[in-house]
Amino acid sequence: MRGALPTFANTDFDKKIFECVDGALHAIGRDQRELLRLRLRNRYYLPLKHVGSGPDTFEQSLVETVGPAAATMVTIGILKNISTTFGIHVPSDSSLAVAVETARKTSPKLSLLPKRIPQKKPRVHYNKKMRFKI
């Protein structure tokens, strides 16, 4: 058994990290990107949009999917995107986990506030003849 399914908070920080990752993944092509997404979801229970919650797992899956050379190229692209998005300096030889933690520390407002999810109001149906709620 692989363990319990992880829970993820849907935050603006995760959204920005996902945009950084997705921008760099265009370098490997659509088919490899889809294969990586499926591997993350099925094998590691990590949706691509929650890479900020599991950067080490993402890096491991990236190496398994595209190989070490292409994984290094994509990781450098992700680190550059994180540097420009969050306005921080991340060396190109650091790991993705270090970059995500550095970005998280520099943007505490984004990492602590969950995204507000609008709730639907329940629909009420009335019986036309009897005038009571069903």
**pLDDT tens sequence for the chain (134 residues):** 444 444 455 578 889 999 999 999 998 989 999 999 999 899 988 888 889 889 999 999 999 999 999 999 999 999 999 999 999 999 988 999 999 999 988 876 554 444 444 445 555 555 566 555 55
Query: Residue 55's closest CA among 8, 19, 99, 113?
Result: 99
23's tokens: 């921008």
- Give pTM, 2 decimals: 0.72
Compute how many other C-beta atoms are within 10 angstroms of the C-beta atom of residue 69: 9
* Residue reference for tokens 């520099």: 106
Domains of the chain: 12-112 (1.10.1200.200)
